[in-house]
């Protein structure tokens, strides 16, 4: 755990709403900010950025939206008026690929100076209380990371019986304690500022060098959100929520676990996250949608079904459209999830014979979606063939459905193989009715049924398939 201190966890966001029988509760509102005047000035000078055009983005969780185009003059300077269209929150000025800097807009005049290279490190805050706090935080964070990355390997690898080890442990703890105290001072210097809320939300989880990696990981899982406040919706105007959530989800990843084991772990994780977000409708809905989008990309169907069954019903009834959109998105996964009865279908075989799924009489039926243009399919089909050849048809039958669109490609591929199972195709690719009905988005995809045509597994590998047969 110590030697991975430098590693940044990925990010995901969760939005959940709490609902009472009368459906009238709304989330806690962000603390109102009393503006002293209608408009404020933004003055930025970027040395080396002469007559350039840049985009200014605002954050909403994991999303960024262009709010302005910045045109610098011959001195690298840019000035504009910040009116009410600039919501309080974290903004990003993008100077090029992987070259950008953050700053906060929140009802105050802002004057910044930096260089076109190393923009974050060379930033000078001429005017802006919010950004003085933000960049002092960045400075403290950088100092902490540098010290911890130097001392961490020493603490982890030095002989524990030596006196120096005890000295290193004490120094390791003191560095963290100082950082924690400095953060508290920084936050308390302006507790109602956006910068303070942002820093406090991201927080700091101290590492105990005397714990084993397993013990430290479990401690983080149990206490990661101890001082995190999801109840103020203003934090949505930053990237803080996705940062926090993905960092937490990363604690549950384990390369040694199977797909099913990982999904069970992630169910526990999303429960913990969503429980934190229940205090604010807007945060809840955003976070739920973010989690659904993230796990949909990962194709973790069991997690999606879990989210659908346990959290979509909690969405405030004042936002029925949002709720209906999520239900529509998830329903396609639920219909073909493990435990459901597989939809029947009729399809023609390579011999032009019409077959029906429900007419297959076998203890297990494996449906595999593949294509001749899929390199991984060739390998997995050969491995599955070995299993098929050792089982009787009463025990196992296989329906291999090709997502080819060219009949000649499909037939030529099979002519070079000896796949004696049921070979079928509609020759419509991803638009095949059976592929749509089964929500197929990748090849190869395996779906294992029992004799009652219930889906009992969706193995990702041949080894997982063997465990179920």
- pTM listed for this prediction: 0.75
CATH 2.60.40.180 maps onto the chain at: 40-126
Per-residue pLDDT 10s for the chain (469 aa) are 443 433 333 333 332 222 222 332 333 333 344 445 789 999 999 999 999 999 999 999 999 999 999 999 999 999 999 988 899 999 999 998 889 999 999 999 999 999 999 898 999 999 999 999 999 999 999 999 999 999 988 888 888 888 898 999 999 999 999 999 999 999 999 999 999 999 999 999 999 988 888 899 999 999 999 989 999 999 999 999 999 999 999 999 887 787 788 899 999 999 999 999 999 999 999 999 999 989 988 888 889 989 988 998 888 665 677 777 777 777 878 888 888 999 999 999 999 999 999 999 999 999 999 999 998 998 999 999 999 999 999 999 999 999 999 999 999 999 988 899 999 999 999 999 999 999 898 899 999 999 999 999 998 889 889 888 8
Q: How many helices (H) and strands (E) does the chain have?
A: 13, 15
Task: Report the distance separating Cα 185 and Cα 189, nearest Å.
Answer: 6
Joined together, the tokens standing for residue 464 give 């997982």
Q: Where in the chain is the domain with CATH 3.40.30.10?
A: 346-468
CB 401 within 8 A of CB 434: yes
CATH of domain 346-468: 3.40.30.10
> Thinking of the domain 40-126, which architecture would CATH place it in?
Sandwich (2.60)
CA torsion sign, 284 to 286 to 289 to 292?
A: negative
Cβ neighbours, 10 Å, residue 89 = 19
Whole-angstrom Cα distance, residue 255 to residue 244?
22
Alpha carbons 12 and 295: distance in angstroms, whole number:
9
């Amino acid at each position: 755990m110590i030697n991975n201190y430098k590693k940044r966890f990925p990010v995901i966001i969760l939005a959940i709403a709490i609902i009472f029988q009368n459906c009238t509760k709304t989330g806690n509102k962000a603390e109102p900010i009393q503006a002293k005047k209608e408009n404020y000035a933004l003055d930025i000078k970027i040395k080396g950025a002469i007559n350039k055009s840049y985009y200014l983005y605002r954050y909403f969780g994991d999303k960024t939206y262009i709010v302005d185009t910045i045109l610098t003059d011959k001195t690298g300077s840019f000035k504009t008026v910040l009116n009410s269209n600039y919501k309080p929150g974290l903004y990003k000025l993008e100077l090029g690929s992987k070259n950008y800097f953050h700053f906060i807009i929140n009802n105050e005049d802002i004057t910044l100076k930096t260089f076109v290279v190393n923009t974050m490190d060379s930033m000078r805050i001429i005017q802006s209380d919010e950004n003085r706090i933000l960049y002092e935080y960045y400075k403290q964070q950088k100092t902490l990371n540098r010290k911890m990355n130097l001392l961490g390997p020493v603490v982890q690898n030095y002989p524990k019986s030596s006196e120096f080890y005890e000295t290193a442990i004490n120094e390791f703890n003191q560095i963290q304690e100082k950082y924690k105290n400095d953060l508290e001072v920084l936050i308390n210097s302006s507790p109602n500022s956006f910068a303070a809320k942002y820093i406090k939300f991201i927080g700091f989880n101290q590492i105990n060098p005397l714990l084993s990696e397993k013990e430290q990981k479990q401690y983080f899982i149990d206490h990661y959100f101890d001082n995190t406040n999801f109840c103020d919706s203003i934090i949505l105007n930053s990237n803080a929520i996705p940062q926090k959530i993905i960092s937490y989800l990363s604690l549950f990843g384990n390369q040694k676990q199977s797909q099913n084991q990982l999904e069970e772990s992630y169910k526990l994780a999303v429960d913990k996250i969503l429980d934190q977000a229940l205090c604010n409708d807007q945060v809840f809905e955003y976070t739920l949608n973010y989690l659904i989008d993230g796990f949909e990309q990962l194709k973790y169907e069991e997690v999606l079904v879990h989210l659908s069954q346990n959290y979509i019903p909690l969405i405030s009834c004042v936002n029925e459209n949002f709720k209906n959109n999520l239900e529509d998105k998830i329903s396609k996964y639920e219909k073909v999830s493990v435990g459901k009865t597989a939809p029947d279908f009729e399809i023609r075989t390579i011999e032009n014979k019409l077959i029906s799924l429900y007419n297959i009489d076998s203890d297990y039926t494996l449906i595999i979606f593949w294509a001749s243009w899929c390199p991984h399919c060739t390998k997995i089909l050969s491995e599955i063939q070995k299993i098929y050849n050792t089982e009787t048809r009463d025990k196992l039958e296989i329906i291999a459905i090709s997502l080819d669109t060219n009949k000649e490609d499909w037939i030529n591929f099979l002519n070079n193989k000896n796949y004696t199972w049921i070979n079928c195709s509609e020759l419509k690719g991803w638009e095949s009715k059976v592929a749509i009905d089964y929500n197929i988005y990748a090849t190869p995809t395996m779906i294992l049924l029992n004799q009652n045509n219930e889906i009992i597994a969706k193995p990702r590998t041949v080894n997982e398939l063997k465990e179920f047969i």
